[in-house]
């Protein structure tokens, strides 16, 4: 499987299918993914032209909103899974919020979530925006992620300290931090985070730069 970090929380997983997660910095029409997963409705994840998205999986409320814009959607909810060809997609919880500004007011768009993608025998957990929660231990127990993609920028999500505990709870072979250094408020130097995680767990931390691809 090829994992490309497009920046912020956007990843492209390529194997038997091409899966785009949280498209914000990319133009989804250029990526031509088979399926796009949207963790929540904040504009730094869904992007500013949601009507241009291809086939999307999202939580029930956000899925309903998108289908009203003419987007093909697969609505689902936390704890549920579906088979997309030979790829299994599971929606898991996240501790965050999810809304969209409409006429200056925040409109509720369902709960935020993370996704577990099982493709070509490998399991990738993309946590979305979240604080640390101890049920990450359940994600480990149920899905045994090989790769955990975790926010580490702080302020809007967990920061490096909480993310260390998340890495410990998840026990993935590879940890990829996201949602940091995109703008000043979430600036982080993750050098010490990488050292500590690699010293105290069996995970390897990949500090990917936007545009980089990891083959696993
Ligand atoms: Ni958010
Ligand atoms: Mn965000």
Cα–Cα–Cα angle for 80, 83, 88, nearest 5°?
Answer: 75
pTM, rounded to two decimals: 0.98
Nearest ligand to the CA of 94 is 1
Distance, CA 6 to ligand 2 centroid (Å)? 14
Nearest ligand to the CA of 153 is 2
> Can you tell me the distance from the alpha carbon of 68 to that of 102, in angstroms, rounded to the nearest whole number?
15
pLDDT of the residue at 45: 98
Mean pLDDT of 94-118: 97
Q: How many other C-beta atoms can be found within 10 angstroms of the C-beta atom of residue 20?
A: 25
Distance, CA 70 to ligand 1 centroid (Å)? 23
**Listed residue (141, 112, 143, 98) closest to 125, CA to CA:** 143
Q: Which residues surround ligand 2, an ion (CB under 5 A)?
A: 44, 129
> Can you tell me the distance from the alpha carbon of 193 to that of 11, in angstroms, rounded to the nearest whole number?
21
> Can you tell me the distance from the alpha carbon of 166 to that of 163, in angstroms, rounded to the nearest whole number?
5
Distance, CA 199 to ligand 1 centroid (Å)? 30
What is the DSSP secondary structure assignment for residue 39, as one 8-state letter?
-
pLDDT tens digits for range 167-201:
999 999 999 999 999 999 999 999 999 999 999 99
Distance, CA 108 to ligand 2 centroid (Å)? 15
**Listed residue (177, 175, 113, 116) closest to 142, CA to CA:** 116
Share of the chain above pLDDT 70, in %: 100
């Amino acid at each position: 499987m090829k994992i490309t970090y497009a920046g912020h929380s956007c990843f492209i997983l390529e194997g038997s299918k091409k899966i785009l997660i949280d498209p914000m910095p990319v133009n989804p029409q250029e990526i031509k993914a088979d399926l796009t997963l949207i963790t929540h409705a904040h504009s730094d994840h869904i992007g500013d032209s949601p009507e241009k998205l291809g086939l999307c999986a999202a939580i029930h409320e956000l899925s309903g909103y998108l289908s009203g814009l003419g987007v093909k959607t697969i609505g689902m909810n936390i704890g549920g899974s579906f088979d997309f060809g030979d790829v299994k997609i599971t929606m898991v919880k996240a501790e965050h919020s999810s809304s969209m500004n409409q006429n200056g007011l925040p409109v509720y768009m369902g709960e935020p979530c993370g996704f577990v993608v099982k493709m070509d025998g490998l399991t990738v957990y993309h946590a979305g925006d979240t604080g640390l929660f101890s049920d990450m231990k359940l994600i480990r127990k149920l899905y045994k992620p090989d790769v955990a993609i975790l926010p580490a920028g702080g302020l809007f999500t967990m920061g490096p300290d909480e993310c260390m505990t998340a890495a410990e709870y998840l026990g993935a072979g590879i940890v990829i931090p996201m949602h940091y250094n995109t703008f000043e408020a979430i600036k982080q130097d993750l050098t010490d985070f990488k050292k500590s995680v690699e010293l105290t767990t069996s995970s390897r931390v990949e500090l990917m730069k936007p545009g980089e691809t990891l083959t696993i």
